Amino acid sequence: MLDFPPKNIQDYCEQHSAVFPDEILKEIERYTHLHVLMPQMISGQLQGHFLALLSKLLAPKKILEVGTFTGYSAICLAQGLAPGGRLLTIDINEELEEAVNGFFKKADLAQKIELRIGAALDIIPQLSDDWDLAFIDADKMNYDNYYELILPKMRSGGCIIIDNVLWSGKVAEEELKGKKTIAIDALNKKIREDKRVEPMLLPLRDGMMMIRKK
């Protein structure tokens, strides 16, 4: 993953943000680095703080997440849920289901977060059409499919966040190499021209595309 911003800048940003993370998030980080392949996929402190703060600003009633991993980002997003709000998170990896649900319980969020195991491409079409906030952080080759399935289900003014849209800086190279790099770059360009939305690509960690549905 691209080291952007440089570590000293990243550390400074973390030191001058609100105190974060809490103990359960630290536990998830430890667990992820000890037991899970590619632990760098976890959102981490600065990105997690951004997701939590954005959720608190929006106070969503319904949050949809595609790509649970070990549950870090779901817990961050759930911090801003409106009273009675719910978060649905979808992941294909059933091997992490027990551990992730255990983290949600420890965070006292088991009544607010539902983990659904299965293929998001099959699950999303079955969902209702009134989501306030969505976070996409799953298999990159299906990013465009997730975007097209989720956007019509967002309320007007709703927000979609797509992670890893800088793809370690590969999307900005003169010659794009690799199917994932080409797919992500194509999606970034498509969203920029999409008249249904107002996008902004943020150079936060590995790149986050923030999209407001008109």
Look at residue 173 and tell me whether its pLDDT is greater than 80.
Answer: yes
pTM over 0.85, yes/no: yes
pLDDT in tens, 11-53: 888 888 876 668 999 999 999 999 998 888 888 888 999 999 9
CA distance 193 to 211: 12
**Is 187 inside a domain boundary?**
yes
Residue 188: predicted pLDDT: 98
**Is 70 inside a domain boundary?**
yes
CATH number at residue 208: 3.40.50.150
- Domain of 150 in residue numbering reads as 7-213
pLDDT band at 94 (very low <50, low <70, confident <90, very high): very high
**Is 61 inside a domain boundary?**
yes
Identify the three-state secondary structure at position 152.
helix
**Is 1 inside a domain boundary?**
no
**Is 189 inside a domain boundary?**
yes
Number of domains comprising the chain: 1
Calculate the average pLDDT of the chain.
94
Residue 117: predicted pLDDT: 98
Cα-atom radius of gyration of the chain, to the nearest Å? 16
